[in-house]
Amino acid sequence: MRQWLVALGIVLVVVTLTPSFWKKLERFDTGPDYRIPYDLSKDYWLYERRLARVASTNIVMLGDSVVWGEYVMADGTWTHFLNREAGVGNKFINAGVNGLFPLALEGLVRFYGRPLSHRKVILHCNVLWMTSPKADLSTDREESFNHAALVPQFSPRIPCYKADASDRLNAIVERNVPFIEWVSHLQNAYFGQQSIPKWTLVEAGGDPPLYPNVYRNPLSEIKMTVPSEPANDPQRGPLSSRHKPWSTNTTGTTQFEWVALDQSLQWRAFQRVIEVLRERDNDVLVVLGPFNEHLMAEQNRPAYRKMHNEIVAWLAKNQIPHVAPELLPSTLYADASHPLTEGYQLLAKRLYHDSVFQKWMSTK
Amino acid sequence: MLFHTWPFLVFMLIVLPGFYALRKTRLWLPWLTAASYFFYGWWNPYYLLLVVYSTLLDFCLVALMDHCPRAGQKTDVFARLTRLRFDDRLLKFAFVVSAIATLGCVVMALFGLQTLRPTMWVLGLILLLMTLGALYSSRRIWLLISLVNNLALLLFFKYARFVAENLNALFESLHWSVNLSDPSTLMPFGFEYLLPVGISFFTFQSLSYTIDFYLGNVQRERNFVRFATFVCFFPQLMAGPIERAKHLLPQFHRFPPVRLQNFTDGASLFLVGLFKKLALANYLSFYVERVYDNPKLFDAPALMLATFAFAWQIFFDFSGYTDMARGVAKLMGFDLILNFNNPYMATGLGDFWSRWHIGLSSWFRDYVYIPLGGSRGGMLRTYRNLFITFFISGIWHGANWTFVIWGTLHAAGIMITRELERSVFYRERVPRLAKQVAVFVFVCFAWIFFRANSLGDALLIVTRIFTAAWHDPQMPVLMLVLVALIWLYQFCYESRFRVILQSGLVRTGAAVFMILYLCLCASGGGAFIYFQF
């Protein structure tokens, strides 16, 4: 019994203290325009750590890849241009995460967003997540999606989420035990988002296949510096092949199967996010869209307009400051919801000079 | 429900306090039965019917066996048939009920629902045998029914498809226009034809009770709930260890004495099992799968190392499960048998089988090898008996020729080591380490057939091991280090250094290391290999 008590005591000390010590030991540079690197999108422990560094005077912008900047470099994002408009280096903080639909955003805010309390928050509402029952996650057929660990595991029920009880409980445990989150951080930051054993067996292609990590020492991979975004990301920025207007890839328009707001799981989750933020004394401003209407089929627009108006009405009814920026020119959209660099620039300008926004900024 | 998943933790957090809370009542046993049925039903609630059916039938059969004269007593079959004159009321009741039920089943099989007809034929056969058993008051017939019933379940779910496929191939080669339908077509109400998890374990356990009772080795269990708990006791229901009634049933007679040591020992066993499964077996499985799923892509060193890795993977996987099962049972105050005893330290194949899957090997020894005559009756008969036993043991593992070859190889290996051990030189001059290495190499060779996806793959692997070029096997060093550490541990455990391993410092350090390693490096979930058997 004594041996067990000693063992458990040691384990308890290690498990409790390691995450806190790690924060002090590991270098984490969050300069101007910092955003969580794409590869670390699921490192929620790091996300929380990043939010903890936000000063009380900063304004945090929350949302999915529209906020994060899917097609642009860090100096081409919405927050970058807002900072430029404000003439301050780091007033607006990019706290967007790739693929973060409202159901996952709710989990992120609820479980990792505590450092945000009492701050001004801009919450982006992307109606992309209501464009179809599949995007809304309300179909009965099983779907795999990003950030499954963040969504409600048991209630409210997400029909297309068919993980077994073990995976669901695993997600709940993970978000409540800092040590496990820290382990997940190690895997995300140093081992290519996988466990150490799996990392030792990673295949690098070739014939015969090559396994570059088999003789490497896993401990030497831990560099004690959080990896930052690559300086020249070939997937992003004006020089990348993806950074071009949506119409160069697509011909014709798209017919969306809009989900009615009162049926939408994502919209309800978005409402809950606002509720949580307000409970935490956050001063919330919602930015709605602007969704790429150019891409939408003509007969599809009335349904979109109706939804848009309903959202605005609900925000007004609940006295939530909101701005619905004007539609951008077609050439400034990369797809249905993501602007290109110039699009963000224009958007930031319009948003910053909006009277509602200015009024909201001026309140304490 | 797997031991290493969160639902099991939740399950235990409900079952364990409930079990202790009921200790002063008679409800602790039904609680355990209900928990065990829930545990099994979690996997597939429909197949729970099989466990209940098998349990109920064996319970009744032994009760009926108990009402039959031991031997030599004549029965007036004619009087029984014409005037229903039975000495024993239970047998009379059994005769009447079984006869009526047999007729009912035949009628159902002929005119009933199409989907139920195959099941009704089988049930009709079992009931007919029961009618005969009651009519002749024959203990042997009751035993036969138990054997037929349990083995029929096993054969149908495990081997029917294999047999049908092989027979169809044979018929085709003989140009016979016969085609056996797939066994899934025999399932009632379109139920999925799945191998019920743990069927080989619970049927063998239940069967051992009827055989032991027939042989006079155990008393009849009169409490159905107690017997049901014995058959389906959740820690060992899915993959053993296969317990004997003589050992486990008495433990259910009264609430077990639970001391603090039960918790510490139980937790230690569980932790070791968890470590074996999550840190070692699952990790090794990545390398094994990579090589064995595509053997033609790999050279001799990789194939050898993958086989070596599989030897350890299956050991860690299965003994890990057993350790966890024993640990869980211990938390409730029950003792399950030791199923693995450092098998890779064996100095002979006979020794290996007395250390590997002890529950199953002793089952085969007691109920197959010894009834066949064992080592009585000369060398040839002994080898024949060994061969039959290992052949059955091979096929028990699965319906595939690879398992048959694996069993046969072990039979051959045992014969060879038995012969070698007759010589003084081998017994006294060959170093112990050399014997251990030789046994390990032989066992690894046999594992090739056990693990390969097909007989063709197995032969390809064997061929390539001896003919392919030597290139870097690309096996992670971390994997090798872990296995080497365990091997070293086992060598120390079997040597005079064992006391060091048992010191408080080493045990505490090992526990801390295992917990932290599991937190940092666990290799994900995954079911246990032996669940498929």
Q: How far is B231 from chain A (nearest CA, A)?
A: 26
- Say how far apart CA A356 and CA A204 lie, in whole Å: 52
Whether residue B521 lies within 8 A of chain A, CB to CB, comes out as yes
Helix (H) or strand (E) holding A95: strand A92-96
B247 catalytic residue (yes or no): no
Quick check: B512 and A7 CB within 8 A? yes
B495 interfaces chain A, CB cutoff of 8 Å = no
Three-state secondary structure call for residue B50: helix
The answer to whether residue B5 neighbours chain A at the CB level (below 8 Å) is yes
User: Hey, is the C-beta of B515 within 8 angstroms of any chain A C-beta?
Assistant: yes
B44 touches chain A (CB under 8 A): no
Mutate to test the interface with A, among B4, B6, B297, B482 (most CBs of A within 10 A): B6
Facing residue for A1 by CB, picked from B2, B264, B476: B264
For testing the chain B interface, which of A174, A211, A213, A219 should be mutated: the one with the most B CBs within 10 Å? A211
CA dihedral B500, B504, B505, B510 (to 10 degrees): 90
Residue A92, beta-bridge partner list:
A59
Quickly state the pLDDT bin for A166 (edges 50, 70, 90): confident
* HSE of A269, CA atoms in CB hemisphere, 13 A: 30
Partner-chain contact B476 A200, CB within 8 Å: yes
Average pLDDT over residues A220-224: 90
Gap between the Cα atoms of B72 and A331, Å rounded? 100
Residues of chain A contacting B521 with CB distance shorter than 8 Å: 195-197
Are B478 and A196 an interchain contact pair (Cβ–Cβ within 8 Å)?
A: yes
Among A173, A127, B18, A34, smallest CA distance to A135 is for: A127
- Which chain B residue lies closest to A18 (C-alpha atoms)? B516
By Cβ distance, the residue of B508, B515, B516 closest to A3 is: B508
> Is residue A284 within 8 Å of A333, Cβ to Cβ?
no
Least CB–CB distance from B512: residue in A10, A180, A200: A10
User: Nearest CA to CA, how far is A150 from chain B (Å)?
Assistant: 18
Q: Rounded CA gap, A83 and A93, in Å?
A: 9
List CB contacts (< 8 A) between B520 and chain A. 183, 186, 196
Distance CA A83, CA A71 (A): 19
Q: Do B478 and A218 touch (CB under 8 A)?
A: yes
* Interface test with chain A among B474, B475, B516, B517, by most A beta carbons within 10 Å: B474
Tokens of B163: 């047999």
Residue of A nearest to B262 (CA): A1
Q: Do A180 and B519 touch (CB under 8 A)?
A: yes
Cα angle value A281/A284/A287 (rounded, 5°)? 165
Q: Residue A284, SS3?
A: strand
Burial of B329 (0-12, 13-18, 19+ CB in 10 A): buried
Residue recorded with tokens 């108990």: B66
Torsion over CA: A288, A289, A294, A297 (sign): negative
Q: What is the pLDDT of residue B523?
A: 60
Q: Determine the 3-state secondary structure of B96 from DSSP.
A: helix
pLDDT at A159 over 80: yes
Placement of tokens 């670390």 in the chain: A40
Phi, psi of A204 (to 5 degrees): -110, 20
What pLDDT, on a 0 to 100 scale, did the predictor assign at position B179?
A: 83
pLDDT score recorded for residue A151:
94
- C-alpha span between B240 and B247 (Å, rounded): 14
Please report the pLDDT score of residue B524 as a whole number: 60
- Chain B residue with the nearest C-alpha to that of A209: B297
Cβ contacts below 8 Å, chain A against chain B, sum to 86
The residues on A that touch B, with CB distances below 8 Å, are: 1-4, 6-7, 10-11, 14-15, 165-166, 169-170, 173, 179-180, 183, 186, 195-198, 200-201, 208-211, 213-215, 217-218
Residues in Cβ contact with B204 at an 8 Å cutoff, skipping those fewer than 6 apart: B150, B242, B360, B363
| Helix/strand/coil for B215 | coil
Which residues does residue A61 pair with via DSSP β-bridges, in sequence order? A94, A122
Query: Could you tell me if A103 and A96 are in contact, meaning their C-beta atoms sit under 8 angstroms apart?
Result: no
CB distance from B6 to chain A under 8 Å?
yes
Q: What's the pLDDT at B527?
A: 60
> Counting beta carbons within 10 angstroms of the beta carbon of residue A327, is it exposed (0 to 12), middle (13 to 18) or buried (19 or more)?
middle
Residue ranges of alpha helices (H) inside B468-503 are 477-493, 498-501
φ/ψ of A285, rounded to 5, equals: -125, 130
In this predicted structure, what is the pLDDT of residue B72?
60
Q: Domains (ranges, CATH) in chain A?
A: 27-152+228-362 (3.40.50.1110)
Alpha-carbon span A219 to A224, nearest angstrom = 11
Question: Which of the pair, A103 or A210, is modelled with greater confidence?
Answer: A103
Work out the pLDDT band at A152, boundaries 50, 70, 90: very high
Pairing relation of β-strands A92-96 and A59-63? Answer: parallel
Name the stretches of chain B with pLDDT < 70: 71-73, 523-533
* Per-residue pLDDT at A206 exceeds 80: no
Is B511 in Cβ contact with A183 (below 8 Å)? no
Does the CB of B477 have a partner CB in chain A at under 8 Å?
yes
The Cα A332–Cα A344 span in angstroms is 8
Mapped onto helix, strand or coil, the DSSP state of residue A60 is strand
Q: Return the domain boundaries, chain B.
A: 27-252, 263-532
* Mean pLDDT of all residues belonging to chain B: 88
**Nearest alpha-carbon partner for B119 in B183, B201, B166:** B183
Determine the pLDDT at residue B188: 80
pLDDT of residue B528: 60
**Terminal CA-CA length for chain B:** 16
Q: Which helix (H) or strand (E) holds A93?
A: strand A92-96
Backbone angles phi, psi at A19, to 5 degrees: -60, -40
Q: Which of B5, B261, B511 sits opposite A7 (nearest CB)?
A: B511
- What's the token pair of residue A159? 């029909």
Chain A contact for B107 (CB, 8 A cutoff): no
B503 at A interface, C-beta within 8 A: no
Answer yes or no: do A11 and B479 touch at CB < 8 A.
no
Facing residue for A166 by CB, picked from B5, B478, B521: B5
Cα within 13 Å of Cα(B487), Cβ side: 17
A7·B297 Cβ contact <8 A: no
Alpha-carbon distance of B478 to B286, in angstroms, equals: 13
Say if residues B258 and B332 touch (Cβ distance below 8 Å). Answer: yes
| B223 in A contact zone (CB under 8 Å) | no
Give the distance from residue A1's alpha carbon to the nearest chain B alpha carbon, in angstroms: 6
Mutate which: A2, A4, A173, vs B, most B CBs within 10 A: A4
Q: Does the beta carbon of B144 lie under 8 angstroms from any beta carbon of chain A?
A: no
Using CA atoms, how far apart are residues B528 and B533, in angstroms rounded to an integer?
10
Q: How many CB atoms lie within 10 A of CB B285?
A: 22
- Note the pLDDT tens digit of each residue in B420-456: 888 888 888 889 899 999 999 999 999 999 999 889 9
Catalytic residue among B4, B357, B397, B410: B397
Q: Which residues of A touch B475 (CB under 8 A)?
A: 214
User: Angle A27-A28-A29 (CA atoms, 0-180°, nearest 5)?
Assistant: 115
Among candidate residues B488, B475, B432, B467, the one with its CA nearest the CA of residue B308: B475
Across the interface, which of A6, A170, A183 has its CB nearest the CB of B508? A6
pLDDT digits (tens, 9 = 90+) for A258-271: 999 999 999 999 99
Three-state SS at A186: helix
Q: Which residues of A142-176 are buried (b: 16+ CB within 10 A; e: fewer)?
A: ebebbbbbbbbbeeeebebbebebbbbbbbbebbe
Contact A197 B523 (CB under 8 A): yes
- Residue A2 tokens read as 């004594």
How much is the pLDDT for B56?
93
Q: Check residue A94 and give its pLDDT.
A: 94
Task: Check B515 against A186: CB less than 8 A apart.
Answer: no
Angle ∠(A71,A75,A79) on CA atoms, nearest 5: 90
pLDDT reported for residue B440:
93
Residue type, B467: T
Helices (H), chain A: 2-25, 44-52, 65-68, 78-86, 102-112, 165-176, 178-190, 196-200, 218-221, 265-279, 301-317, 341-352, 355-362
- List CB contacts (< 8 A) between B6 and chain A: 165-166, 169-170, 173
Q: With left for phi above 0 and alpha for psi between -120 and 50, is residue B380 left, alpha or beta?
A: alpha
Burial (Cβ within 10 Å: 0-12, 13-18, ≥19) of residue A201? buried
